[in-house]
């Protein structure tokens, strides 16, 4: 993940929330400051321990977390593969066997109700 060396997660620091280099500054807090209009220069003045790369790492961390999950596309059967041809052959044989059983079934005549 981009910036992951600058973003740390430790159970004893900020209750296990992602923080900037273990400085006890949660990533969400940096993102809130940035989204509130705080500039990188203002953050550097207010928090000299934060480096410009830390801000980029927070943004990259959030972007990575918000990406949609990768859902693999369904596999389209290859109609020329041997496995597909064999499965179709088995299906065809089963259908033929079923139809043969229907054809050869003895005809039952209705019982007279005398």
Enumerate residues 6+ apart whose C-beta is below 8 A from 67. none
Q: How many residues belong to the chain?
A: 114
- 31 pLDDT exceeds 90? yes
State mean pLDDT over 35-45.
Answer: 94
pLDDT score for 3: 46
- 36 pLDDT exceeds 80? yes
pTM assigned to the model: 0.57
pLDDT tens, position by position, 71-84: 677 777 777 888 88
Contact between residue 62 and residue 27 where contact means Cβ atoms under 8 Å apart:
yes
Q: Tell me the average pLDDT of the chain.
A: 85
- 8 pLDDT exceeds 60? yes
């Amino acid at each position: 993940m981009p910036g992951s060396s600058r973003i740390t997660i430790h159970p004893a620091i900020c209750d296990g929330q992602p923080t900037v280099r273990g400085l006890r500054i949660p990533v969400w807090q940096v993102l809130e400051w940035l989204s509130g209009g705080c500039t990188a220069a203002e953050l550097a003045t207010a928090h000299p321990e934060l480096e410009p790369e830390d801000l980029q790492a927070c943004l990259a961390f959030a972007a990575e977390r918000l990406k949609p999950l990768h859902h693999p596309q369904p596999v389209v059967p290859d109609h020329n593969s041997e496995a597909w041809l064999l499965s179709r052959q088995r299906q065809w044989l089963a259908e033929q066997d079923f139809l043969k059983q229907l054809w050869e079934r003895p005809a039952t005549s209705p019982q007279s109700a005398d």
